[in-house]
Amino acid sequence: MRINTFFYGLITITFLLVSCSKDEILEERTPESADIQQEVSSKALKQIGTGVMMQAFYWDVPAGGTWWNVVKGKVSGWSNAGIDAIWLPPVSKAMNGGLSMGYDPFDYYDFGEYNQMGSTETRFGSRSELTSLITTAHNNSLSVIADIVINHNSGGDSEANIFTNSNTYTDYNPLSGLFERTQYDFHPNDYHNNDSGVFGGFADMCHHKSYVQDWLWKKSNSVAKYYKNTMKFDGWRFDYVKGFEPWVPKEFRNAVGGFAVGEYWDGNVNTLKWWTDQAQMSAFDFGCYYKMRDAFMGNNLNALNGDMLWKRSPTRAVTFVANHDTDEIINNKILAYAYILTHEGYPAIFYRDYEHWLDKNKMNNLIWIHNNLAGGNTTNLWTDNDEYIARRNGGSGKNGLVVYINNSDSWQERWIQTNWSNKKIKDYTGHSGWEPTTQGGKWVKIQAPPKGYSVWSLK
């Protein structure tokens, strides 16, 4: 994640505030506009993971409350292209109001309807526009993934803090009237001084407090249940999960179900595997990301032989080439997409790559290849400095494929062994016009264009 706001300073006025814990306060309240309802399609949604995820935003998308409508206008085309889910930015009102990208959350129940933090709408639009977007996505069989930011908060008022003997910005009184917070809900407090990590100078939420757990996932109108049952979100992307223990997103997800993925920003695959096992959900495959960066920016495809989460746990790896926080693979980026869209894992594509920067026809072709051909486990067939060849062995109704990535400046050819005997194959990218027939021993010669790729399967 990335925050585009200022850090809160600590005011050194020391006096004692006597206050009671809110752990017993469990009153049920709903937003004034909770009666905003739109019909949600009964059309079956695509199963998340059977297609490709679209990250439906980038950092500093246009402000002015237009973004939900922009995305709404694209979901039909994305669904037709083979997208199965869209990941939205944080949807609730944040400290910087209409300017915020949402990663400095203030009121979890203000989706652009209360005049607070300097605006009524969020940067992305109003509550009615958000619900209309979600309905339209569902009508196009797309699941909608919410970005959940629960490590830290921003925008609280100053209060005398008995745990720091100073004033801290930890007094939260959102206009929704839901999930009010004080010093008892942040670190340090009467439970402990800290948890796994803090983000900058923001108020660090304490997930061990029963009051916090009630509002995040236990109560009938908790964040988890309200987002699932009222706002109709289908899945969860947990931001900055290094900041709290893996049981936290696990409990949140257990309360409401749905697909879930964590942003554990670490290239150490052992650590990623540990986290997915503990949290019992997917993680973004930063191991794969950094190996692709080394391969394509370092012009050495041998890096693709390195360890990645998808090689350890393919059903829990969300692979990606770029996102709103990091976009380092500049050279031959389409080759990186050819890699993740032909290999195991659940690939996510970045809005700007798809809509602005890369050839959309090539991206759609790779999405089709992923959805229709890329089945079964993976066998590496050849890797050197300039060439990489791998085979998907087929399964779940898919014939499998052979992908040939060529990072050199000239056409390359190689003999490789397929899973097909005496069968005609073709390059489904259209880059090669060859249609060779495999030998009885399943061997065949294939080719790939310079600074390009080819993907072969049964004709």
Binding residues for Ca(2+): 151, 214, 386
**DSSP secondary structure string for all residues of 9-56:** PPB-----------TT-------TTTT---PPP-SPPPPTTSSEEEE-
Contacts of 98 (CB under 8 A, 6+ apart): 63, 64, 65, 118, 119, 121, 122, 123
Is 263 noted as a catalytic residue in this protein?
A: yes
Please say whether the beta carbons of 137 and 175 come within 8 A: no
239 is catalytic: yes
Q: Which of 338, 329, 325, 324 is nearest to 291 (CA)?
A: 329
Catalytic site residue from 185, 234, 239, 353: 239
Residues whose CB is less than 8 angstroms from the CB of residue 80 and which lie 6 or more positions away in sequence, other chains included: none
Both ends of the chain: CA-CA distance in Å?
A: 43
The structure tokens listed for 315 are 């059903």
Nearest in space to 377 (alpha carbons), one of 352, 350, 342: 342
Closest CA to 151 of 109, 188, 107, 103: 103
| DSSP state for residue 88 in the 8-state scheme | P
| Annotated catalytic residue within 104, 263, 353, 427 | 263
Q: 63-67: which pairs have CB atoms within 8 A and are 24 or more residues apart?
A: 63/98, 63/99, 63/123, 64/98, 64/123, 65/98, 65/112, 65/121, 65/122, 65/123, 65/124, 65/125, 65/126, 65/129, 66/124, 66/125, 67/123, 67/124, 67/125
Question: 455: which strand partners?
Answer: 403
Question: What's the rounded Cα separation, in Å, for the pair 72 and 85?
Answer: 13
Is residue 78 a contact partner of residue 86, using CB atoms and an 8 Å limit?
Answer: yes
The binding site consists of 151, 214, 386
- Residues marked as catalytic: 239, 263
